[in-house]
Structure formats: structure tokens, C-alpha cells
Amino acid sequence: MGEVKLEKFNFLTTTLNDAIGWARKYSIFQYPFITACCGMEYMSTSCSHYDVDRFGAGFPRFSPRQSDVLFVVGTISHKMGPVLKRIYDQMCEPKWVVAFGVCTCTGGFYDNYATVQGIDTIIPVDVYIPGCPPRPENVLDGLIKLQEKIQKQRQEV
């Protein structure tokens, strides 16, 4: 957050942009788009051991129309590409995309006819979390980076 002043009365002053960013970064409704083995790490991140709810992102929505962040978790094949694009198009603004695992970042070792070589060829990506699959700590690190990005950006209202 930017500059915050505590006055002698119990209130804070800040900018509208910062306040909206603060609210948005701690109320991430995520849409998990899980296609492969990275899903296991996603599950362990979201369950009680690593508890993604500590970061305000503990509420997966299974409709893209109700979610803010699209978690693309696992290998995306060319056959799946149009589905992913359609899911992204259905989400309301503001929206962010996290590429979870190296397959979504670059295609990983699936350098072949069937696999999309990085989902950023189809949809814009905000945070890349590499790893095959990434450790939950790595996922949480990516999530914190996304929160920083949400806080700092210009908030469209």
C-alpha cells in the first residue's frame, strides 16, 4: 500500500486506488483450470497444510463468470486451447491469469505436435510459476507476487 496516515481520530486516509487494490488482492476468487499432475500440488497448496486461505485466495469458484483469477494448472493440448480461450473470455474484468507449472509456461518437455507451447500464445498471463510440478511454497510465492501486482496496478472501477 502507498502512504497511510493515522490521524488522531480513528480513521485512515489513503487513495481510492490503493484501497481498491488492497481489497482486491485479499479477496481473490480463483477458477482452477486443472488438466494434469500439477493439480496435486494445487490441492496440497489449497488444503490445510499450506492453507492458501491465509492469503485471501481460499475460495475456488467453479464458474469463470464469478472468478477473478484463472489458475491454469497442467498441460494444455491444442485440442483444449479453444476451451481455455473461451473460459478466459467468460471471466469478468478485472481478471488475472496464473500459469501454474512449466507446461503452461512454455510447454515444458512436451515439445511435440499435441501441446500448446506456453498458454501465453493464447491468453495473457500475469504470473508464471515454473516447476514440474512447483512446490506449494513456490505457488504461494507466485500468489504473493500476483497480490503485489494487483496492489500496484491502476484499478479500473
- Residue 124 touches other proteins, criterion: CB under 8 A: no
Using CB atoms within 10 A of its CB, is residue 116 exposed (0-12), middle (13-18) or buried (19+)? buried
- Is there a contact between 14 and 48 (Cβ–Cβ < 8 Å)? no
List 1, 85, 132, 148, residue binding other proteins (CB under 8 A): 85
Choice between 21 and 118, CB closer to other proteins: 118
Binding residues for other proteins, rule CB under 8 A, total: 12
Cell digits of residue 53: 486461505
Rounded Cα distance, 63 and 11, in Å: 37
- Residue 36 touches other proteins, criterion: CB under 8 A: no
Rounded Cα distance, 9 and 48, in Å: 39
Rounded Cα distance, 142 and 63, in Å: 23
List 12, 40, 92, 114, residue binding other proteins (CB under 8 A): 114
- Residue 82 touches other proteins, criterion: CB under 8 A: yes
Binding segment toward other proteins, per CB under 8 A, in 1-9, 16-24, 107-115, 142-150: 107-115
CB of residue 122 vs other proteins: minimum separation in angstroms? 5
List 69, 103, 116, 146, residue binding other proteins (CB under 8 A): 116
* 3-state SS, residue 66: helix
Q: Which amino acid is present at 6?
A: L
Using CB under 8 A, list all residues that contact other proteins. 78-79, 81-82, 85, 112-114, 116-117, 121-122
